[in-house]
Structure 1
Amino acid sequence: MKRLILMAAAILTAGIVSAQNYIIVNSEKIFKSVDAYNTAIEQLDSLAKQYQGQVDAKFAEVETLYNNYQYQKASLSSAARQARENEILAKEKEAQQYQESLFGKEGTLMKTRIKMITPIQKEVFARIEAYAKEVGADLVLDSSNNPTLLYNNPTVERTQQVIDLLKQK
């Protein structure tokens, strides 16, 4: 009886899975084919380097203060030492807050990234959806960052068709 139930379940599952029409796309390859995306990424990388230089300068200032303090520590009174240590700690905290304001989850770079990339993503995803509807696909799988995709038949790979559709605009 158990075998009969298991066999019926397997046949039913196989029938449901085979009835679905699906396609596979590589979103990373699609995004890299969009000039606006590549330009935005280059601008973001350049901005990140600029911001990193500013953050490095703030931390270099902290390091200089600390090195000067270490050099002069022996000749300072305990009150002067405490004041210098507090100054160094305050500068370090300021540098960390500045770094967070640029690179954090709510930082300037992330806000700029969202502002630049979101419209491109919306367009690409809309084109993928339009293509899927055009070919009657029930499901679209992304093969670019999915570590559980172990195999895909090249006949269901539709990345190039989506790229072509994007270029038709």
Structure 2
Amino acid sequence: MLKIVTTIIRVLPIVFVTLCALLITSGAFGQKFGYINSDYVLSKMSEYQEAQSEIQQLATQWQEEIQGMQKEVDDMYSELKAEEVLLTAEMRRERMDAIQQQEETLKEYQQKVFGFEGLYYLKKQELIKPIQDQVFEAVEKVAEENKLQIVFDKSGDLVMIYTNPIHDYTDFVLDELGLGEQEDTIR
């Protein structure tokens, strides 16, 4: 009798841990997932196209300003080189100081515009973030309606070697955004 009790006491923790593991993992197998293609969704949104166009125009304008400032620096160097033999050491030093000041101004402007949290970044956030939020809300609603626990983005860095189209919820998100097409078939 003592031997049976000892065996039960020794085996009981193993049985308990195994039972707990089975209960915990059984929930994982019941999870439902899907994926969307956010690049495709965004390409269907006219607001996104307009925002991208505005951002590109600003970037081009800022790049042209930077190129103009760089041309000024290059011209200053050319003038210095052409007149170098006629300048005194003091005059040469003053011109070099002016060139270095202009280069510093150029670098500061580049940083202000295209640097970390520069004007380009801030403008992109201002224009794109509301659109991304709108897509996220639509994805969230589709996920809740279809009881999805996980939604992947096919267009992101996540590599999807194979995807069954039955799990593609891109059209649902487009419908939620009011961008669905008549020929789209609702599953």
Task: Work out the CA distance in 2 between the residues paired with 1:105 and 1:30.
Answer: 28
Partner of 2:93: 82
What is the identity percentage for the equivalent residue pairs of Structure 1 and Structure 2? 27
Equivalent of residue 107 in structure 2, options 96, 99, 113: 96
Structure 1 residue runs of 5 or longer lacking an equivalent are 1-7
Q: How big is the shift at 1:150?
A: 2.0
Alignment of 1:19-168 (within 5 A): 19-167=30-178
Deviations 1:14-57 (A, max 9, x none): 85553210011111111111110110000100111011111111
Structure 2 residue runs of 5 or longer lacking an equivalent are 1-17, 181-187
Task: Work out the CA distance in 2 between the residues paired with 1:132 and 1:146.
Answer: 21
Q: How big is the shift at 1:74?
A: 1.8
Question: Of the two structures, which has the highest relative contact order with CA contacts closer than 8 Å and spacing of 6 or more?
Answer: 1
Name segments (4+ residues, structure 1) moved above 6 Å: none
Q: How big is the shift at 1:67?
A: 0.7
TM-score by length of 2: 0.79
Q: Report the AA paired with residue 38 of structure 2.
A: S
Task: Work out the CA distance in 1 between the residues paired with 2:86 and 2:162.
Answer: 70
Q: Report the AA paired with residue 135 of structure 2.
A: V
Larger radius of gyration: 2
Indicate how the Cα distance of structure 1 residues 56 and 110 shifts in structure 2: closer, same or farther if over 3 A, else same. same
Query: Counterpart of 1:23 in 2: which secondary structure?
Result: strand
Query: Counterpart of 1:152 in 2: which secondary structure?
Result: coil
RMSD: 2.0
Task: Work out the CA distance in 2 between the residues paired with 1:156 and 1:15.
Answer: 21
Query: Counterpart of 2:35 in 1: which secondary structure?
Result: strand
TM-score by length of 1: 0.87
Q: How big is the shift at 1:154?
A: 1.3
Task: Work out the CA distance in 2 between the residues paired with 1:92 and 1:72.
Answer: 20
Moved more, 42-51 or 73-82: 73-82
Question: What is the aligned length?
Answer: 160
Task: Work out the CA distance in 1 between the residues paired with 2:140 and 2:156.
Answer: 19
